[in-house]
Amino acid sequence: MNYWLLKSEPDAFSIDDLRAMPGKKDHWDGIRNYQARNMMRDDMKKGDMAFFYHSSCAVPGIVGTCEVVKEAYDDFTALDKKSKYFDPKATKDNPRWCMVDVKYKKKFKSIVSLDALKQNKKLESMTLLKKGNRLSIMPVSAKEWKIIMAMAGA
């Protein structure tokens, strides 16, 4: 199984929002980057675990974990003219984009901030910390997962 990191702006969708969903799960829609889509489509499997990351906020960082409960399927928001994720080039036959379903697992007692991650020497090579990386979905190694879970006291 694989580990992942999923970014979300807490103003739009936070870990508390996920926890409040029926069944504590929701579809992870709005991915509009090919690299991120390909990873989601090809490599994200049911049972994979992911960190929930809050971006573009006062304290960016990892706030908890969730689990992939449904593998990639068509992202219908690409076909919905009213959606902010509407893509005029998407068609029914070729929706271009896909999404997975994730289920809330755990919220950390305190956030593992981006700052704390940067200060951990063992995480130097982590994708998230590499300069210029703006992917909203990225792989996390089993080793990184362990280290971060320990930092969270989880």
Partner DNA sequence: GCCAACGTTGGC
Q: How far is the CB of 134 from DNA (least distance, A)?
A: 4
Q: Which residues contact 134 (CB under 8 A, 6 or more apart)?
A: none
Stretch that binds DNA, among 64-72, 74-82, 103-111, 129-137 (CB under 7 A): 129-137
Q: Which residues contact 130 (CB under 8 A, 6 or more apart)?
A: none
- 13-52 in b/e form (b: 16+ CB < 10 A) is bbbeebbeeeeebbbbbbbbeeebbebbbeebeeebbbbb
Instruction: Please calculate the CA angle 44-33-24 and round it to the nearest 5 degrees.
Output: 50
**Which residue do the tokens 């990225």 mark?**
138
Check binding of 132 to DNA (CB under 7 A). Answer: yes
Q: How far is the CB of 135 from DNA (least distance, A)?
A: 6
Q: How far is the CB of 22 from DNA (least distance, A)?
A: 26
Instruction: Please calculate the CA angle 69-83-138 and round it to the nearest 5 degrees.
Output: 40
Which member of 33, 83, 120, 141 binds DNA (CB under 7 A)?
A: 33
Check binding of 32 to DNA (CB under 7 A). Answer: yes
Stretch that binds DNA, among 19-27, 28-36, 102-110, 142-150 (CB under 7 A): 28-36
Q: Please tell me the distance from the alpha carbon of residue 63 to that of residue 17, in angstroms, as a whole number.
A: 12
Q: How far is the CB of 34 from DNA (least distance, A)?
A: 4
Which member of 94, 115, 125, 127 binds DNA (CB under 7 A)?
A: 115
Q: How far is the CB of 2 from DNA (least distance, A)?
A: 19
Residues that bind DNA (CB under 7 A): 7, 9, 32-35, 55-57, 60, 89, 114-115, 131-136
